[in-house]
A and B are shown apart, each in its own frame.
Chain A
Amino acid sequence: MLNDIKIMMKSLSDIDVRIMLCKSAFEWELLAKKYNALRDEIEAFCASELPEDVQTALEKTRAYLVEKKGELPPLDLSDFFK
C-alpha cells in the first residue's frame, strides 16, 4: 500500500511540474482532467481515510491549478455567445 501511495504522490508531483510549464488553456484542461482522475483514484484507493500528507498534496496541486488558470490569458467567450 505504501508503494501505491508513493506512486500516486509521484504522479501528483508530475502534475505540479507540468502546471509550472503550462502555457495554454488547452494544456491546463488536460492537467485538470488528469488531476480529477488521480484524485478520484486516490479517494477510491484510500476509501477509509485519506492520509494527511496525501490530502495536503492534493490541495496543494489544486491550488496550483487554480492559480495557473487565473494567470493564463482570460478565456475567450466569443464561441459561447454564438
Chain B
Amino acid sequence: MGLIKNIGNAVKSEVRDYLLKIVEAEKEAPKKPEAENIQKPAETKAEQQPKVEEKPVVKEVKAQPERVEEVVEVAEKPRRKEIYPISNDLEFVRVSYKKNQDGVMIPKDLAELIKMLPLEEYACFVKLYCFALEQRKNYGYWGGTLKRKIGLDQLTTAEFEELGNNLAAYGLLLLEQLTENQKTFVLYVPFDEESMVKLSTAKKPEKKPEKPAKKQAPKPAPKAKAEPETEAETQRDEDIPGKPVEGMEDDEMYKSYKTFVSLEIDKAKMRVGRANFDKIYMEAVKYIDKKYGFKVLSDSDKFKEYLTNYYISAFDIPTFENWKKSKG
C-alpha cells in the first residue's frame, strides 16, 4: 500500500511540475523577443536596457516619413484613375425634339446608366439633359456660354472641361474639336420616334478608356459630313467592341499573341479591381446578348471568343494586326 501511495504522490508531483512548466511557457511566449535580448547576467542588464528601449523610438522616427508619403500619394490618386465607359453600345444621334416637353422625363434605361456616374458628372449630365429638352436639341457648342446656361457658373473653365472629358470617357457625351478654340458636344439621349426627329448620326470616339485629366487631341477631319455615308457606317462598325477579329493565322505568332492578350487581360483585371472587372463582365454579357443573340451567349466557345474581343476593345489591347506590326 505504501509503495502504491508513494508512486501516486510521485505521479502527482510530476503532473503538477508539467502543468507549471506549460503555464510558465505560455506566460513567457509573448515576451520571447525581449527575453532573447536579455540573456546576459544581471549586471549587464542595466546597460542593455536603454538599447532595447531605443529600438522602438528609432522605428517610430522612420515610420513617420513613410506615413507622410502615403498621404501624399492618396491625395494625388483619384484624379489619375482611368475611366471606363459605362456602356459601349450607345448610338449617338443628333436629334431635335418635335415639341416642347411639359416635364423632364428620363427614360428608365438612361436612369439606370447615369446612376453609375459620380456625383459631379451625374449633376452635369442631368443639367445638360434638361438643357437639351429646353433648347429642343441634344447638341451644340461646348464652352463658357453653355457652362453659364446650364447653371455651372461657379466652375472654372478647366473644371468644366474636365467634367466634359469625364462624361465623354464614360461614354455618355461626344465631344468634337472643331478648331483650336471651338468644340461641339452631342449628349446621349435614347432615340424616341414619337418625340424626336433624327438629324444625323455622330461618330463615336475611337479609344474607350481615357484618362479624365487628359486633353483631347485635335481631330484631323473637322466635319464628318464630308465623308460618304457608307464609309462612316463601316468606320462605326469597326469601332464596335466585341467585333470578331478575322484572318488570324494559326501559327506561332498567333499563339504568342494569345499569351500576350491573356496577360494583358490579367493586368487589366488587377488594375481596375475585382468589383469593376465584374461590372465590365456584366456589361460584356449584355452587349454580346444584344449584338449577337442568345445562341452565342449560351455557346461556351463562341462566348469566350466574343468576350475576349470585348476585353481587347475595352482594355485597349492592341489587335493582332497592330501587335504584329509593333513586333516588326
**Which residue of chain A lies nearest to B257 when distances are taken between CB atoms in the complex?**
A81
* Interface positions of A from 27 to 51, Cβ below 8 Å from B: 29, 32-33, 35-36
Report the Cα distance A81→B266, complex, angstroms: 12
| CB atoms of A77 and B298 under 8 A apart | no
Return A76 CB to nearest CB of chain B, in Å. Answer: 9
| CB atoms of B282 and A29 under 8 A apart | no
Return A15 CB to nearest CB of chain B, in Å. Answer: 12
Q: Mark B286-301, 1 if CB is under 8 A from A, else 0.
A: 1001000011011010
A contact residues around B261 at 8 Å (CB)? 81
Q: How many A-B residue pairs have CB under 8 A?
A: 48
With A81-B259, A81-B261 already in contact, the answer to whether A74 and B300 are too (CB < 8 A) is no
| CB atoms of B294 and A80 under 8 A apart | no
A20 within 8 A of B: no
Interface size class of A (residues with CB under 8 A): 10 to 19
A71 within 8 A of B: yes
Taking a contact as CB atoms closer than 8 A, the residue among A36, A71, A73, A81 that contacts B258 in the complex is: A81
Report the Cα distance A69→B278, complex, angstroms: 11
A contact residues around B307 at 8 Å (CB)? 75, 77
B262 within 8 A of A: yes
Q: Is the interface of A mostly helix, strand, loop or mixed?
A: helix
B contact residues around A74 at 8 Å (CB)? 277-278, 281
Return B178 CB to nearest CB of chain A, in Å. Answer: 39
Report the Cα distance A35→B262, complex, angstroms: 32
| CB atoms of B303 and A70 under 8 A apart | no
| CB atoms of B294 and A75 under 8 A apart | no
B265 within 8 A of A: yes
B contact residues around A69 at 8 Å (CB)? 285, 297
B contact residues around A73 at 8 Å (CB)? 278
Report the Cα distance A69→B281, complex, angstroms: 9
A3 within 8 A of B: no
Interface size class of B (residues with CB under 8 A): 20 to 34
* Interface positions of A from 54 to 82, Cβ below 8 Å from B: 62, 65-66, 69-71, 73-75, 77-78, 80-81
**Which residue of chain B lies nearest to A33 when distances are taken between CB atoms in the complex?**
B298
| CB atoms of B286 and A80 under 8 A apart | no
Report the Cα distance A46→B207, complex, angstroms: 46
| CB atoms of A62 and B262 under 8 A apart | no
B contact residues around A77 at 8 Å (CB)? 262, 265, 304, 307-308
B contact residues around A62 at 8 Å (CB)? 294
B contact residues around A75 at 8 Å (CB)? 281, 303-304, 307
Return A31 CB to nearest CB of chain B, in Å. Answer: 9
Report the Cα distance A45→B282, complex, angstroms: 33
A contact residues around B283 at 8 Å (CB)? 70
| CB atoms of A70 and B281 under 8 A apart | yes
Return B27 CB to nearest CB of chain A, in Å. Answer: 47
Residues of B within 8 A of A (CB): 258-259, 261-262, 265, 277-278, 281-283, 285-286, 289, 294-295, 297-298, 300, 303-305, 307-308
Apart from A77-B265, A81-B262, what 7 extra A-B contacts exist at CB < 8 Å? A29-B298, A32-B298, A71-B282, A73-B278, A75-B281, A77-B307, A80-B308
Query: Could you list 18 A-B pairs, sorted by A, with CB under 8 Å?
Result: A29-B298, A32-B294, A32-B297, A35-B298, A36-B294, A65-B294, A65-B298, A66-B289, A66-B297, A70-B282, A70-B283, A70-B285, A74-B278, A74-B281, A75-B304, A77-B262, A81-B259, A81-B262
